[in-house]
């Protein structure tokens, strides 16, 4: 994750070891957003997603996972991040601050990450 926005990494393991996961992140409550217009809510949610992405990137750096995460993208204003990483990095993601759940991309909603 030396440069997650470009998709480059120093990790040199086999490409087959990379997996795609969807990370659900915390978001402001619906009650806290009710007073805002639709466009304002979108801006608030988008900013939350960007803030959580930056926090996850900083956490990964502190945990020494930078070489094991190659892509870390914000979906939109929704509370999702798309991550391409090694299986062992994926197993650590649920421990990051602000992470609600980690799912393998393509899994059914609500199916927790299970790396074999």
- Shortest CA distance to 102 belongs to which of 60, 89, 47, 55? 89
- Domain CATH code at residue 96: 3.30.70
Q: Domain count for the chain, please give it.
A: 1
Note the pLDDT of residue 7: 39
Quick check: is 116 in a domain?
no
Q: Which helix (H) or strand (E) holds 74?
A: strand 69-74
pLDDT band with cut points at 50, 70 and 90 for residue 6: very low
Quick check: is 92 in a domain?
yes
The domain of 74 spans 15-104
The average confidence (pLDDT) of the chain is 81
Quick check: is 115 in a domain?
no
The pLDDT tens digits of the residues spanning 13-35 come to 555 689 999 999 999 999 999 99
Quick check: is 114 in a domain?
no
Higher pLDDT, 111 or 84: 84
Reduce the secondary structure of 4-61 to three states and give it as a string. CCCCECCCCCCHHHCEEEEEEECCCCHHHHCCCCHHHHHHHHHHHHHHHHHHHHHHHH
Note the pLDDT of residue 113: 52
Quick check: is 90 in a domain?
yes
Quick check: is 10 in a domain?
no
pTM of the model: 0.74
The pLDDT tens digits of the residues spanning 86-112 come to 999 999 999 999 999 999 986 545 545
The pLDDT tens digits of the residues spanning 8-18 come to 444 455 556 89
Note the pLDDT of residue 95: 95
Q: Identify any residues that bridge with 84 across adjacent strands, giving them in sequence order.
A: 20, 71
């Amino acid at each position: 994750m030396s440069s997650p926005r470009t998709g480059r990494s120093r990790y040199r393991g086999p490409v087959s070891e990379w997996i795609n996961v969807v990370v659900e992140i915390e978001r402001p409550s619906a009650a806290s957003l009710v007073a805002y217009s639709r466009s304002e809510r979108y801006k608030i949610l988008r900013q939350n997603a960007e803030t959580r992405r930056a926090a996850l990137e900083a956490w990964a750096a502190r945990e020494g996972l930078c070489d094991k995460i190659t892509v870390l993208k914000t979906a939109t204003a929704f509370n999702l991040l798309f991550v391409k990483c090694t299986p062992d990095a994926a197993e650590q993601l649920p421990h990051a601050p602000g992470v609600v759940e980690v799912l393998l991309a393509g899994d059914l909603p609500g199916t927790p990450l299970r790396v074999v």
